[in-house]
Amino acid sequence: MKPFALIATLILVAGSGCVSQSKYEDLKAHDKDLAWRLEAQEKQVTTTEAEKKTLERTIEVLKEDNKVAREKLALANEALKDAKKDVDEELKARLAELQAKSPGKLELSPWGGVVLESGILFAPGRHELTKDGETALGGIVESLCSSKYDGFTIELSGHTDADPLRATAKVYTDNHDLAAKRANSVRRFLVSKGVPAARIYLSAWGETSPLASDATKEGKAQNRRVEIRLHHDQGPVELPASAPRPATDTTKPASAPKPDAAPDSDGGDADEMK
Give the pLDDT confidence of 215-228 residue by residue, as tens digits: 888 889 889 999 99
β-pair partners for 229: 155
Sheet architecture: strand order including 200-206: 114-117, 225-232, 152-159, 200-206
Residue 176 has a pLDDT of: 93
Residue 205 has a pLDDT of: 94
Residues 182-192 have pLDDT tens digits of 999 999 999 99
Residue 6 has a pLDDT of: 53
Q: Is 177 in contact with 160 (CB distance < 8 Å)?
A: no
β-pair partners for 231: 153
- pTM greater than the 0.75 cutoff: no
Strands 152-159 and 200-206: parallel
Residue 75: Cβ within 10 Å count: 10
Residue 266 has a pLDDT of: 36
Choosing among 3.30.1330.60, 3.10.105.10, 3.40.50.11540, 3.50.50.60, the CATH entry for 102-232 is: 3.30.1330.60
Domain ranges of the chain: 1-11+19-86, 102-232
What does pLDDT average to in each consecutive run of 10 residues of the chain (274 residues)?
53 56 77 80 83 86 84 68 58 79 74 86 88 90 90 93 84 91 96 95 94 87 91 69 54 49 43 55
Strands 114-117 and 152-159: unpaired
Residue 210 has a pLDDT of: 92
Residues 24-57 have pLDDT tens digits of 777 777 778 788 888 888 888 888 888 888 888 8
